[in-house]
Amino acid sequence: MTVTDPHPTTSPDAARIIRDNMWLHFTPHTGLTGADVPVIVRGDGAYIWDSTGRRYLDGLAGLFAVQVGHGREELAEAAARQTRELAYFPLWGYAHPTAIELAERLANAAPGDLNRVFFTVSGGESVETAWKLIRQYFKATGKPTKHKVISRSMAYHGTSMGALSITGIPGAKADFEPLVPSTQRVPHTNFYRATEHADDYEAYGRWAADRIEEAILFEGPDTVAAVFLEPVQNTGGCFVPPPGYFQRVREICDRHDVLLVSDEVICAFGRLGYDFGAKRFGYQPDIVTTAKGLTSGYAPLGAVLISDRIMEPFQRGSTFLHGSTYGGHPVSCAVALANLDLMEREDLYGHVRAKEAAFRGTLEKLYDLPIVGDVRGTGFFYAVELVKDKATKEKFTDEDATRILKGHVSHALFEAGLHCRADDRAEPVIQLAPPLICDQQQFDEMERALRYALTGAWQLL
């Protein structure tokens, strides 16, 4: 049911300005009129409103970020208080109180001895920072040939030239090549599409982990510096690691002196029901990269959490010549502290763990639709994979995937009052990552909107 705001916000010039002056991110501009771009003007709880007054359930938490929901006054107030006291100062040889407090809080919460915090502005910058740091670490410890990175097929790690090089999505990279060399890809963990050990989930996980060791040996252990892995891989649709997968990867990394980076830009701060995804799956990384949920998207901030071992050479002579103007911004750090307070006070991590089975169960009702092949995920992070034939798992052609997802499903979902993501960069999937405050009412709304859109999509085949 469409819900309208009695006080819509409109701008008669918005369409013209969008058409003539704005360059939207990851958006085709051919034929864009401006009037065809939704203008989101307000948020409250799990919902957002556009400039016409229509309400939508935010089934993607903005972009996997708004953990505590929209319109939380305490976060706005934290930003305002900090702005009045100290609006800005850099961390270039200086410190300020909110960064100090946040660094200690993150270090205390992080798994193991990840006691050092390097602040950034975004997730991609966190990944970029981690790779640069790793390269310098190995040079500082007398192993200058260890510079290569292994990541998984179809995994997304950012858009800057280094982070994009680690990214495993060919279509995202082609227009920017040549990129930074020395990155290699290994299989992801989409068990639904497994061809090896397709009847044994744990054996499939061991097989996938062993491909990492195979790649290290092929490249030469004296040249491989790190493995970058998301706890649950986003692109392709929420690939959950099989039992024992990360433990096997940890053993492999230790055996070959390779650092394990847990890229938790999406997965940290409650998305999986824990503050860090590494805790959810019981493994110890050497570095954790974060952003998004750290502030619930209310202010731009990222952080790289680094082990004492990696910090050691930088305490005896090496200087990390890296940073940014706004990394660890005082206002963003103040928002992050208030955000973490709020999540702790409302026990949102516990809420996710308590409700994830109900979320999954509600989405699994969609299995009665012939177009739904798989529902997978964990926490408040799920994907629905679409198929042409459920019995054979037959995939759509590229043309059909584009026509169905972009030509119908995306529009139909929005029409039904749901903001989420239809993605065809790997298998065609719909991704769902709502605010952590959601409950059965919102789960049911998502299921109804998906059923409406997917029923229409099937009729187009």
Q: What is the pLDDT of residue 396?
A: 87
Provide the mean pLDDT of the chain: 95
- DSSP labels for 189-228? --GGG-SSSTT-HHHHHHHHHHHHHHHHHHH-TTTEEEEE
Residue 7 pLDDT exceeds 70: no
Query: Is 187:205 a contact under the CB 8 Å cutoff?
Result: no
Enumerate the β-bridge partners of residue 403: none
Number of other residues whose CB lies within 10 A of the CB of residue 378: 23
Cβ atoms < 10 Å from Cβ of 410: 17
Looking up tokens 């940073």 gives 323
Q: What is the pLDDT of residue 25?
A: 94
| 206-222 pLDDT per residue, tens | 999 999 999 999 999 99
**Domains, the chain, ranges and CATH?**
38-71+348-460 (3.90.1150.10), 75-345 (3.40.640.10)
Q: Span 65-87, mean pLDDT?
A: 98
Check residue 1 and give its pLDDT: 43
Give the per-residue pLDDT at 10. 56
Q: How confident is the model at residue 4 (pLDDT cuts 50, 70, 90)?
A: low
| pLDDT tens digits for range 158-170 | 999 999 999 999 9
Amino acid at residue number 252 = I
Q: State residue 461's pLDDT score.
A: 78
Report the alpha-carbon distance of residue 369 to residue 364 in Å, rounded: 10
**How much is the pLDDT for 355?**
98
pLDDT, residue 9, reads 53
Distance CA 453, CA 458 (A): 9
As a whole number of angstroms, the distance between CA 304 and CA 309 comes to 14
Judge whether residue 252 has pLDDT over 50.
yes
Cα dihedral 274/279/281/284 (nearest 10): 150
Percent of the chain at pLDDT above 90? 91
Which pLDDT value is given to residue 337?
A: 98
Percent of the chain with pLDDT over 70: 98
- Residues 359-385, mean pLDDT to the nearest whole number: 98
- pLDDT tens by residue, 398-425: 888 888 888 899 999 999 999 998 887 7
Task: Report pLDDT digits (tens) over 282-299.
Answer: 999 999 999 999 999 999
Rounded Cα distance, 132 and 320, in Å: 9
- pTM tops 0.85, yes or no: yes
pLDDT bracket for residue 426 (50, 70, 90) = confident
Check the CA dihedral 229-233-236-242 and report its sign. Answer: positive
Output the pLDDT for position 227.
98
Average pLDDT over residues 375-391: 96
pLDDT of amino acid 398: 83
Distance, CA of 245 to CA of 157 (rounded, Å): 20
Asked whether residue 356 carries a pLDDT value surpassing 80, the answer given is yes
